[in-house]
């Protein structure tokens, strides 16, 4: 049986729409359109929720049109509409949910509200058909958590950040060092020529045996180290900048490697048939982190899956895909579907602290 589903995503700073089709041969992304908002927020050093919400509201229907056009389909060829209903910046989530409701009301198509984090967490099944249960490390500007993905609707959070997300920490580091945004790629590049040992930056929470992480102290340590250099030399040279970036990159890589090793220990007690670690989120683009995780998995005989970057970062194909199993089982939402700023994937895990600049960490 062929099922075609339209996906809509607007929870942060990307307006996205996609069409995904499933048939006997497998699952195919027929189109995936992303309108980014980086330029709109660039002057403010972070995502401004009101600007994001307005841009989503202006662009979301156009984005849907483009996705249908690219897939060479119309709404009448679709079997359902899946939309991110949270967690995220509420104005943005509302734009998507209202658009999806309007389309559902006009066409009579079923409506499916999807958790954005489930979208990320299920992506390795879309790209690599990974078997349950697998371990997922979500690392982006707004999220940082380890999830054991047991099933389409069953996520167990075994750890995460208690303050900043890694992408957020990369972005703040870039600002402190006078590097451009988004900070991740800029810090990674600056770090390549730096000495990671010149500044002794902390590896927070490594003394704790659990899988939780903290990055705000690392950022503060970097600020102090920078101010010490400026205090004694009245300037920050390119060498200082590179060494500070390298120190930060090394600390971040060490923490993620060590905490992933712990998360793997927890996951391996389930004796999965094909042990797998998957990553998602913008920080998964970082080469030193990727290499550290690849090596860690290789030494333990664990499969490492990193979806292509366009599917690691925010997109609507993952939202459409996450709605497919609900389409199969006829489990639909109605017009009472609401947008949720916070929506933990694992309702049994203790609540996470803080809320990043890119939305709820859930
Ligand atoms: O997943 P994403 O596109 O958006 C959400 O946060 O939802 O992630 C964006 C984050 C930004 O903070 C950016 O600095 C970071 O991912 N990032 C990186 C790299 N590329 C993007 N961080 C470290 N190294 C990179 N190469
Ligand atoms: Zn995301």
pLDDT at 360 over 70: no
Shared-domain flag, residues 178 and 35: no
**257 in Cβ contact with 292 (< 8 Å):** yes
Each residue's pLDDT tens digit, 110-150: 999 999 999 999 999 999 999 999 999 999 888 899 999 99
Residues 304 and 317 occupy one common structural domain:
no
Nearest CA to ligand 1 atom 22: 184
Nearest CA to ligand 1 atom 5: 141
User: Per the domain annotation, does 117 fall within a domain?
Assistant: yes
Which CATH number characterizes residue 103's domain? 3.30.420.40
User: Atom of ligand 1 at shortest distance to CA of 287?
Assistant: 26
pLDDT tens for 56-92 read 999 999 999 999 999 999 999 999 999 999 999 999 9
Judge if 149 and 296 occupy the same domain: yes
Q: Are residues 330 and 273 in the same domain?
A: no
Does 54 lie in the same domain as 139? Answer: no
Distant-in-sequence, close-in-space partners of 352: CB < 8 Å, separation ≥ 6: 145, 160, 161, 162, 344, 361, 362
Q: Which two tokens stand for residue 291?
A: 């290499």
Give domain status of residue 126, yes or no.
no
Q: Which domain holds residue 90?
A: 3-121+312-360
Distance of CA 77 from the midpoint of ligand 1 (Å) = 35
If asked whether residues 195 and 245 sit together in one domain, one would say yes
How would you classify residue 327: left for phi > 0, otherwise alpha for psi between -120 and 50, otherwise beta?
alpha
Number of domain units in the chain: 2
Same domain as 141, residue 289: yes
pTM score of the predicted model: 0.93
Protein residue with least CA distance to atom 16, ligand 1: 282
| Ligand 1 pocket, Cβ-based, cut-off 6 angstroms | 12, 140-142, 167-168, 170-171, 182-185, 188, 281-283, 285-286, 313-314, 358
Question: Domain check: are 43 and 21 in the same one?
Answer: yes
> 274 and 206: one domain?
yes
């Amino acid at each position: 049986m062929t099922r075609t589903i339209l996906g809509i995503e607007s929870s942060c700073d990307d307006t996205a729409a996609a069409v995904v089709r499933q048939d006997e041969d497998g699952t195919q992304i027929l189109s995936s359109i992303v309108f980014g908002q980086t330029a709109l927020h660039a002057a403010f050093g972070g995502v401004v929720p009101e600007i994001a919400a307005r841009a989503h509201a202006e662009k979301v229907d156009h984005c849907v049109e483009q996705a249908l056009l690219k897939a060479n389909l119309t709404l009448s060829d679709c079997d359902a509409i899946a939309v991110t209903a949270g967690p995220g910046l509420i104005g943005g989530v509302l734009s998507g949910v209202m658009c999806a409701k309007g389309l559902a009301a006009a066409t009579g198509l079923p409506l499916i509200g999807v958790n954005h984090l489930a979208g990320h967490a299920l992506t390795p099944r879309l790209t690599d058909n990974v078997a349950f249960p697998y371990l997922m490390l979500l690392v982006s500007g707004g999220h940082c958590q380890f999830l054991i993905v047991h099933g389409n609707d069953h996520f167990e959070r075994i750890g995460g950040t208690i303050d900043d997300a890694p992408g957020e920490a990369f972005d703040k580091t870039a600002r402190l060092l006078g590097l451009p945004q988004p900070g991740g790629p800029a810090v990674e590049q600056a770090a390549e020529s730096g000495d990671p040992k010149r500044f002794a930056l902390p590896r927070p929470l490594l003394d704790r045996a659990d899988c939780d992480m903290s990055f705000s102290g690392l950022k503060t340590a970097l600020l102090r180290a920078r101010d010490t250099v400026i205090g004694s030399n009245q300037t920050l040279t390119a060498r200082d900048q590179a060494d500070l970036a390298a120190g930060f990159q090394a600390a971040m890589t060490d923490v993620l490697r060590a905490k992933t090793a712990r998360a793997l220990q927890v996951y391996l007690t389930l004796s999965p048939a094909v042990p797998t670690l998957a990553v998602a989120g913008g920080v998964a683009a970082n080469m030193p982190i990727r290499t550290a995780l690849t090596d860690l998995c290789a030494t333990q005989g664990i499969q490492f899956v990193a979806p292509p970057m366009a599917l690691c970062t925010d997109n609507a194909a993952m939202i459409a895909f996450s709605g497919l199993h609900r389409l199969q089982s006829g489990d639909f939402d109605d017009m009472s579907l609401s947008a949720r700023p916070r929506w933990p994937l694992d309702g049994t895990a203790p609540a996470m602290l803080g809320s990043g600049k890119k939305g709820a960490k859930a």
